Amino acid sequence: MFLENKENGGITLEMTFRWYGDSDPVTLDKIRQIPGVAGIVSAIYDVPVGEVWTMERILTLKHQVEAQGLKCEVIESVPVHEDIKLGLASREEYIANYCTTIRNLGKAGFTTICYNFMPVFDWTRSKLDYKLADGSTALLYSRETVENMNPLTGELSLPGWDASYTKEDMKVLLEQYQNVNEEKLWENLQYFLERVIPVAEQAGVKMAIHPDDPPWSIFGLPRIIKNKSDLERLIQLVDSPNNGITLCSGSLGVNPENQVAALIRYFGKLGRIHFGHCRNIKITGKNCFEESSHRSDDGSLDMVDIMQAYHEIGFTGPIRPDHGRMIWGETGKPGYGLYDRALGAVYLNGIWETLEKTKGAMKNEVTV
């Protein structure tokens, strides 16, 4: 992970792009035309959560991507079954299946698995097509809107969560979580990692937890991967280099107390950042934000400082632009259009190239 590119003494940025498989309107032959994008981050989307990903399906994905000249070594995500998060007896079977999937992915040459441990709701926003001043649309999170929603009314239509839950399923699930506070969720995460990380070590796969998005509790459900002390606790639950982090700047960065670049420097030096999600967000109030373009001036995060932190730690792991706005009339999966994410990739690559080429110059400045 910390190997330098010997040819020019520099560090090559492993820029990747998320792809949602055959149903994704952003096709592989479009992605391969984005300058500097070397790899794809994907998953097998039609296997029910908790079931094994077979070698056959995994290799089909890998070969399909590689046929386009793109690398395919990162999975985002292998989802964790709710019974594991709840700590139910049935978790044994689901953890065993998860371990088999890790082994299969390792055998197929995958190096990194992104996952998260958020109860019930994955990433949550209150609006998917919020109109920005320039006419583009972006994802929005309004604390007021989310606080006024009741997941039990069945009217909940927040993006980013599984619409396959019926009103009754949701009621049962939320009731089950009544017995799971933050400490209990930590215990359940530890139980999971104690079984999964040794398998990941053997398989040569790095586990990379994605922080909670947003990094605070919603609907009274516990959320435990929100800040530096949570991440510190996470890496100590099972002290292995294979137990690491997907450092998502946009998820962590909506809480101004999370100094994203400092987190990259800290956990990067420990060798625990296995995957980087790079995007900007604009904080518009307490627990309120809108997603912006990747450019520093458009949001609240200093993307140069963030890329500089990756550069300083000698990061050679996969990194990707994260959500983009919808621009130029594009339609498709909110946050995952082609154009704005492609601009993000090129912008991040541009920052990196500058850091590489001014490295010597900056060293000179410091030593003068």
**Footprint on this chain of Mn ion (rule: CB under 5 A):** 248, 277, 322
The smaller minimum CB distance to Mn ion, of residues 91 and 125, is found at 125
The smaller minimum CB distance to Mn ion, of residues 104 and 249, is found at 249
Q: What angle do CA 96, 119, 239 make, to 5 degrees?
A: 55
> d(Cα 221, Cα 188) in Å, to the nearest integer?
14
The smaller minimum CB distance to Mn ion, of residues 106 and 250, is found at 250
Q: Residue 47 burial (CB < 10 Å; 0-12/13-18/19+)? A: middle
In sequence order, the 6+-apart residues with CB closer than 8 A to the CB of 365 are none
Question: CB 223 → Mn ion: shortest distance, Å?
Answer: 15
Question: CB 314 → Mn ion: shortest distance, Å?
Answer: 22
C-alpha distance across the termini of the chain, in Å:
31
Question: CB 114 → Mn ion: shortest distance, Å?
Answer: 8
The smaller minimum CB distance to Mn ion, of residues 86 and 254, is found at 254
Torsion sign across C-alpha atoms 225, 113, 280, 312: positive
> d(Cα 58, Cα 262) in Å, to the nearest integer?
36
Give the amino acid at 54: T
* Chain residue at closest Cβ approach to Mn ion: 248
How far CA 178 is from CA of 186, 214, 219, in Å, comes to 15, 21, 11
Question: CB 251 → Mn ion: shortest distance, Å?
Answer: 5
Write out the H or E segment, with its range, that includes residue 230: helix 228-237
Question: CB 341 → Mn ion: shortest distance, Å?
Answer: 12
List active site positions: 210, 248, 277, 322-323, 336
The smaller minimum CB distance to Mn ion, of residues 40 and 108, is found at 40
DSSP states of 9-78 = S----EEEEE--GGG-SS-HHHHTTSTT--EEEE--TTSPTTSPPPHHHHHHHHHHHHTTT-EEEEEE--
